[in-house]
Structure 1
Amino acid sequence: MAILSAPRAPYASDPARSRGRLVAEPPSPSRNDFRRDCDRIIHSAAFRRLKYKTQVFVFHEGDHYRTRLTHTLEVQQIARSLARVLGLDEDLAEALSLAHDLGHPPFGHAGERALDDALRAYGGFDHNAQALRIVTALERRYASFDGLNLTWETLEGLVKHNGPLTDRDGRPVGRYRDHGVPQAIADYARLFDLQLWSYASAEAQVAAISDDIAYDAHDIDDGLRAGLFTVADLDDVPFVGGIVRDIRRRHPGLDPARFAHELIRRLITWMIEDVAAESVRRLEALAPSSVEDIRDAGNPVIAFSAAMTEAEHGIKDFLFPRMYRHPRVAQVMGEAEGVLRDLFRHFLRSPEAMPEEWQSGLAGADEAVRARRAGDFIAGMTDRFALEEHRRFFDSTPELR
């Protein structure tokens, strides 16, 4: 795509027309509302903790693997690029990219599985719901309110970046059809209606697809670096194999490190260009005149082409058994799940073992309240703090290597 940036689109989210914050605040003299949201997220404790939270590899396995923080920054960069090309609001796209992984517990998806199992009788655990809890309640930095008091548009995008959660009659859809909308989201939507039945803004959709681009490309990079598979193994992966063969033809004898960087660079570029072209096609067909037209469209407006969608599924099909379920990774993650299950049982049984500020209001509380508090405490831990806490209470803590 030749266009490096586009004029502001009529369907872009406009900070001057934001639906506002739950708690009214005076405007900033130097920043618009979406920029303030970005800055509040960056300065939050939850954002800092992403530095020591697993993406795929536990943080101490090597300095060159992605963590939740470096992954988040890569998503942010891709989202800003796409928003610029499509004439969308870059600050909102950035805010949503920065916040999208705040709710992940330690040890990546293994940690989420462990907490979801532990909290099954109390509503389960969902990282999007946890991110909402963090930015609306658990962060306590301001004198006038709990949470970060983010704009409606940022909260909407945080909850709905993957699409509607309900139909117009309130029935759960998609991934929430079987178990219902997480209680934290349902409760907050009654307080500050996030219109769970509609699509989110184009900026939120940009953040979601940027997440896909980032982890597809960078998990290939980390998998190669870790020796879980080789470049030769990628020959038959849709789309990726074509890039591999072209690099071999153009740069025979290229050393493995440069080869991997060239592959990832091209893969990200082509995926971004594909999303930009397909999104322009969809937007031209829809001809939206406002952000509300995007929300009411009935389908995403930011998407891969059909060919790239098939290729992207092929990348995930390749990575799943060779990386996410690789015996080395699976063993470490299985041990990590055990660490969090042990901690949950301990804190549920002995809430006084948590720091004093986490014990507030638990005297006489029922088991569901105590369980959610223990879950919140554990979800906020970094990998290394979870291991340190486990060593405090248990005789045997795995090395996770």
Structure 2
Amino acid sequence: MDRASFASDPDRTRGRLVAEEESSFRSCFQRDRDRIIHASAFRRLKHKTQVFVEHEGDSYRTRLTHSIEVAQVARTIAGALGLNPELTEAVALAHDLGHTPFGHTGEDALHALMKPYGGFDHNAQAIRIVTKLERHYAEFDGCNLTWECLEGIAKHNGPVEGDLPWALAECDQEFDLELHTHASAEAQVAALSDDIAYNNHDLLDGLRAGLFTDDDLQDLPIVGVCYAEVDARYPGLDSYRRRHEALRRVFGVMVADVINTSNDLIAVSGAQSVEEIRHLGYPVIQFSDEVWAQLREIRSFLFTRMYRAPRVMSVRAEVAKIVEDLFPIYMNDPRQMPVRWHEDIEAARDDTALARIVSDYIAGMTDRFALQDHARLTG
């Protein structure tokens, strides 16, 4: 379909920090997406926790499969709204690059350890990865992404104001991302696609883990109605197919609601350009009030029955201890880190600089590697 006037236009990009000759057969946003896919940090997401630690089962979502699902939803919504699908996909694929091993548990542990040195934030770490830590290219550190892609990664959840995470502040000094404004509609789509993906797949993973049953979902808004639709259309369907048929309908309800609501919001706003979208003062990609209230109820259920389930909390305590043990070991003896990190270690001016290098290293670990390294260093 034709692109909307408020879509991001690759021919009008604000460019890259290091000027490059552009491709004759890929747009700048396509190249951004491809560089993210080929990044080492992206590959490592396959062994990073979404909710369940990798060794708990090989059918649960990881950060990689979650990111792919987010990108699929994002492309669908972007296409329906006339937005740029490649920029939307790039932001969606990159949104979790900065996550530590063991998901939010690892992030919480690393943030506590890093408080004396500026803290840790996974969103800011994603920016650090694509601007500093990926070192594959001859002419620059990072991936040299376009301004629009960096903006989307930094601001897909909305303006970033107040005390900035140090990693984000460092990037913003080099490449002003206008953090006080909203991001493009493409980045806003990536943010809501994240909500859609995890609200849906966490229900499925929780069922698979036995933390709750299909019957427990019957009273949840949206979900219960979808189960009833499947039962009416396919009476006697086996439980596995019934579950998948119901939850794919839940997906459809959320996606359709975002498309319809956002179309209306954009029309009412009168925005005719991506700059006008940025400066409206509110996001134009939203759920309806009704569905948003229903999703809060679903999230409340997941928080109680899944994210804070005794079994999950027990594993959280164990893996937090892994991060808590590793950090002081590397601070006291940073040469335990691989040789390629030694040049950075030697250049560290003080404990803060060293802590940030150690934080970069630990944050980049997969669940598997963190467990192996902890065993090696602690016996």
Q: Which amino acid aligns with 1:242?
A: V
Shift, 1:337, TM fit? 0.6
In the TM superposition, what whole-angstrom CA distance separates every residue of 1:352-386 from its partner, at most 9, and x where no partner exists?
Answer: 11111212142363111111111100000000000
Q: Which amino acid aligns with 1:17?
A: R
Shift, 1:325, TM fit? 0.6
Q: Is 2:372 the counterpart of 1:388? A: yes
In the TM superposition, what whole-angstrom CA distance separates every residue of 1:185-238 from its partner, at most 9, and x where no partner exists?
Answer: 112112110000000000000000000000000000000011100011112212
Q: Is 2:300 the counterpart of 1:300? A: no
Q: Is 2:175 the counterpart of 1:163? A: no
1:120 & 1:256 partners in 2: Cα distance?
Answer: 47
Instruction: Give SS of 1:360's match.
Output: helix
Q: Which amino acid aligns with 2:71?
A: Q
As a proportion of its length, which structure holds more helix? 2
Corresponding residue for residue 377 of structure 1: 361
Instruction: Give SS of 1:22's match.
Output: coil
2:299 & 2:14 partners in 1: Cα distance?
Answer: 37
Q: Is 2:236 the counterpart of 1:253? A: yes
Instruction: Give SS of 2:345's match.
Output: coil
Corresponding residue for residue 176 of structure 1: none
Count of paired positions: 378
2:94 & 2:338 partners in 1: Cα distance?
Answer: 25
1:259 & 1:211 partners in 2: Cα distance?
Answer: 24
Instruction: Give SS of 1:362's match.
Output: helix
Instruction: Give SS of 2:120's match.
Output: coil
Q: Name stretches of at least 5 consecutive residues in structure 2 with no aligned partner.
A: none
Q: Is 2:185 the counterpart of 1:190? A: no
TM-score (norm 2): 0.98
Corresponding residue for residue 209 of structure 1: 192
In the TM superposition, what whole-angstrom CA distance separates every residue of 1:311-330 from its partner, at most 9, and x where no partner exists?
Answer: 11111100001111111111
2:260 & 2:93 partners in 1: Cα distance?
Answer: 25
| 1:19-34 aligned within 5 A | 19-34=14-29
| 1:229-378 aligned within 5 A | 229-363=212-346, 365-378=349-362
TM-score (norm 1): 0.93
| 1:134-149 aligned within 5 A | 134-149=129-144
In the TM superposition, what whole-angstrom CA distance separates every residue of 1:142-180 from its partner, at most 9, and x where no partner exists?
Answer: 0110000000000000000000012xxxxx2xxxxxxx2
1:251 & 1:335 partners in 2: Cα distance?
Answer: 43
* Root-mean-square deviation over aligned CA pairs: 1.0
1:131 aligned to which of 126, 131, 156:
126
Shift, 1:7, TM fit? 2.3
Shift, 1:244, TM fit? 2.1
Shift, 1:107, TM fit? 0.5
Q: Name stretches of at least 5 consecutive residues in structure 1 with no aligned partner.
A: 1-5, 167-171, 173-179, 396-401
**Stretches of 4+ moved more than 4 A in 1?**
none
Corresponding residue for residue 59 of structure 1: 54
* Alignment check: 8 A CA contact 2:344 2:357 kept: no
